[in-house]
Amino acid sequence: MMTRSGLPSRLRLSQRLLLRLANAIDVARRAYLMSQIGLHGKNIVLRPNITITHPERLLLGSNIMINHGSMIFASGRVTMGSDVVIGPGSMILTGNHVGEIFYGNTETQPITIGSNVWLGAGVVVTPGASIGDNVIVAAGSVVSGQIPSNSIVGGVPARIIRELVLPFEPRHYTAATEPGEPLT
């Protein structure tokens, strides 16, 4: 028997079952990742197909979204404030190869991302970078060094495009579990 879509009904049923199974696996994977993250606030959204290495060294505030296909290599520690959006395909990398022999010869540096930060699609944050509060990083940028608060940056390497003037006072809680509690 054929369905309206032109596919046999058994094939449509198989597709629906596989989709449900894939969704269940994704939900279980996200739950596992959340249980492994070192410290986190409320409302953490992990989209499908993300990679987080050393999740125990990842510290997240509240209201965080890590989008599809993003990678966080947190061996050197990554700290994010609250209200942070990581665009699709972005990379946050705390390790770098050093010396003439690359295999196994790495060093790490911590990365700090403030509150109310938006990293556009495909942004790369390199070891030791520090991004202040109220920052927008344009898609495809490479962030290294210090990015001051209240700025819009972009490019390779990321440079200040202009100051960010907010029409409102952002919520500032860097909570581990509740607004107002410090993120340690």
Report the distance separating Cα 127 and Cα 72, nearest Å. 11
Residue 97: active-site member: yes
Burial group, residue 1, by CB count within 10 angstroms (0-12, 13-18, 19+): exposed
Report the distance separating Cα 53 and Cα 75, nearest Å. 7
Three-class DSSP category at 13: helix
Q: Are 163 and 150 in contact (CB under 8 A)?
A: yes
Q: Burial letters for 19-47: b for 16+ Cβ neighbours within 10 Å, e otherwise?
A: eeeeeeeeeeebeebeeebbebbeebebe
Report the distance separating Cα 48 and Cα 119, nearest Å. 17
Q: Which of 40, 68, 97, 172 is catalytic?
A: 97
Report the distance separating Cα 144 and Cα 106, nearest Å. 17
Give the catalytic positions in this structure.
Answer: 97
